[in-house]
C-alpha cells in the first residue's frame, strides 16, 4: 500500500526576518522564509521548514508547482491533507 500524500498551496514570502507560518489565506498557507529567492535557496528552505514543522523527513516535502513564483504547490509524502492541516498552526 503506498504512503499517503497530498498537495498543499503555499504563499511564500522570501527574504523575511525569520522563518514562520503566518496563517491560512483561504486554502493556501502563508509562510515567511529568511532565505532569498535566489538559485532555489528559498524553495529549499521552505521545504526544510515545512518538513520540520510537520515532523517529517526533509525528502517528504517538495515543490511541485511554482518554483519561481510566490504561489506554490508542495507535495507532502506521508500525510493526508487533513493530517497536514491538523499539524500546522492555525488549522
The model's confidence at residue 89, banded by pLDDT at 50, 70 and 90, is confident
Q: What is the pTM of this model?
A: 0.94
Please answer whether residues 66 and 43 qualify as being in contact, where contact means their C-beta atoms are separated by less than 8 angstroms.
no
Cell of 68: 519561481
Report the CATH number of the 5-87 domain: 3.30.1200.10
- pLDDT tens sequence across 56-76: 999 999 999 999 999 999 999
pLDDT at 71: 97
Domain definitions of the chain by residue range? 5-87
Amino acid at each position: 500500500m503506498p504512503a499517503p500524500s497530498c498537495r498543499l498551496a503555499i504563499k511564500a514570502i522570501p527574504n523575511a526576518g525569520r522563518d514562520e507560518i503566518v496563517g491560512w489565506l483561504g486554502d493556501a498557507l502563508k509562510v515567511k522564509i529568511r532565505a532569498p529567492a535566489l538559485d532555489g535557496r528559498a524553495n529549499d528552505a521552505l521545504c526544510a521548514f515545512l518538513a520540520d514543522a510537520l515532523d517529517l523527513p526533509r525528502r517528504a516535502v517538495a515543490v511541485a508547482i511554482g518554483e519561481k513564483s510566490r504561489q506554490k504547490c508542495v507535495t507532502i509524502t506521508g500525510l493526508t491533507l487533513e493530517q497536514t492541516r491538523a499539524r500546522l498552526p492555525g488549522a
